[in-house]
Amino acid sequence: MANLWISLTEERTLTTTSSQTSSDAGNEPIPERRFLGRDDVNDIESILRDDETDFGQISHATVTRGDAVFTWDYERTRPGLSKLYEKAKDSMWNGETDLDWSTDVDVEKVASEMSGAVEQFRRMMVSLDDSPVRLWGPKEWTEFEIEAFNWRMSQFLPGEQGALVCTAKIVVTTPWIDAKYYAAAQVMDEARHVEVFAKYLDTKLGGSYPVNANLQMLIDDVLGDPRWDITYMGMQIMIEGLALAAFGFMHQITEEPLLKKLLRYVMSDEARHVAFGVLSLQEYYQQLDGKEIRERQEFAFEAAIRMRDRLMMHAVWEKMGISKRAYTEMLFKVRAQGTNPFQAALFSKIVPNCKKLGLLDAGDGWLREKFTEIGVIQFEDFTDTGEEYELLDELARDRASAS
């Protein structure tokens, strides 16, 4: 993974130099570069190759870069971050005592609840003449639903551990005392999330999956970038933004009481985390020049492609006897008919937050064009998480009801 990051960094450096030259010369367009080392982000060979990346059975180490920044200015000058910090202190919950772990979970029932969200996409897959799932019956689809549910829950776990590690890096690298305070509180939140998802997987589900390669590649890229704001962008805006949307869909659909309450509490925390990223970056990005903003746009797009590829669930299809190549080819045929509404909607938090940060239309509107190409621009006017976190304070509601 270190080699991948070096190549991306070198490539970004070359692009930056070229972009600076164009900027100095006038308003010439910034040249395109290869994203994720691919000539085409939809190249099936590259997608399959990345999916084969092995991150180990027990542990994985990656290089983290960035300066440890101390500040001697202890005055709290950012009211938005101070408000978030106070909210975080008041909203701590205990994963052991605030959730009823004696609840019996019917995995097949929970998995079947999720199937309705992808029914349209499933019909599109079956309609293809050469579809590898065309002859599947109820038995195969039930098995797939269970495996897909296990996979989704399995990916929440390394995602939360990634957030734990990345937020610890934010404590170290952010230059503002207000941000250090809040990030330290978020580290505790993330530890709690890892704890509860690990326990749910271990005690309630019948199987688990290793970390998805695209998720871990993005986490490694975030940790390997020395710019402190990229940690915010990659984790707080992109990874946690997508997770917040996924939690929301699952919470809305499921009737399983333990999972529903677990997700309610996790969503309350995650909304604050994404708001932390929005508030911090909104201020910082006002100080950047056009070249620097373009670099952030490109990173956001690269992260979006990683998240898109992560959602392909290759491991599930392979376990169901469908080759990854056959499924990926089928997936792009289906996408030619229209975007998977469920997967696209997972970007419903990312796109409005990028808009609030000024990234969608900065420069020549490059990021707007790219988000249009991957079918997610329709979410630009959804509520951004900078305004939403107070609406999701589920712990406060429960405490008020109990008093």
Give 202-252 pLDDT, tens digit per residue. Answer: 999 977 899 999 999 999 999 999 999 999 999 999 999 999 989 998 999
Q: At what angle do helices 257-285 and 394-402 cross, to 10 degrees?
A: 130
Residue 73 in any domain: the answer is no
Residue 17: inside a domain: no
- Closest C-alpha among 391, 396, 359, 169 to residue 272: 391
- Please report the beta strands in 185-246, taking only residues with DSSP state E, as ranges in sequence order: none
The number of distinct structural domains making up the chain is 1
End-to-end CA distance of the chain: 51
Range of the domain at 98: 80-402
In the chain, what percentage of residues exceed pLDDT 90? 68
* Rounded distance between C-alpha atoms, residue 86 and residue 71, angstroms: 21
Q: What was the pLDDT predicted at 356?
A: 92
Instruction: Report yes or no on 66 lying in a domain.
Output: no
Exposed, middle or buried by CB within 10 Å (0-12, 13-18, 19+), for 60?
Answer: middle
Residue 3, pLDDT above cutoff 60: no
Residue 334 resides in a domain = yes
pLDDT tens digit sequence for 131-163: 999 999 999 999 999 999 999 999 999 999 999
**What pLDDT band is residue 276 in, cutting at 50, 70 and 90?**
very high
CA distance 242 to 347: 6
Q: Apex CA 254: angle with CA 252 and CA 255, to 5°?
A: 115
Instruction: Say if 269 falls within a structural domain.
Output: yes
Neighbours of 177 (CB within 10 A): 18
pLDDT of residue 327 exceeding 60, the answer is: yes
Phi, psi for residue 35 in degrees, rounded to 5: -95, 135
pLDDT tens by residue, 299-311: 999 999 999 899 9
236 within domain boundaries:
yes
State the alpha helices, DSSP H only, in 77-176: 79-90, 107-115, 119-127, 138-173
The chain-wide mean pLDDT, for the chain, equals 87
In a domain, 71, yes or no: no
- Residue 39 belongs to some domain of the structure: no
What's the CA gap between 158 and 152, in Å, rounded? Answer: 11
Identify the pLDDT of residue 346: 78
Find, among 271, 273, 261, 272, the residue nearest to 397 by Cα. 261
pLDDT at 315 over 90: yes
CB 215 within 8 A of CB 162: yes
Listed range (102-106, 337-341, 365-369) with the worst mean pLDDT: 337-341
CATH code for the domain in which residue 214 is found: 1.10.620.20
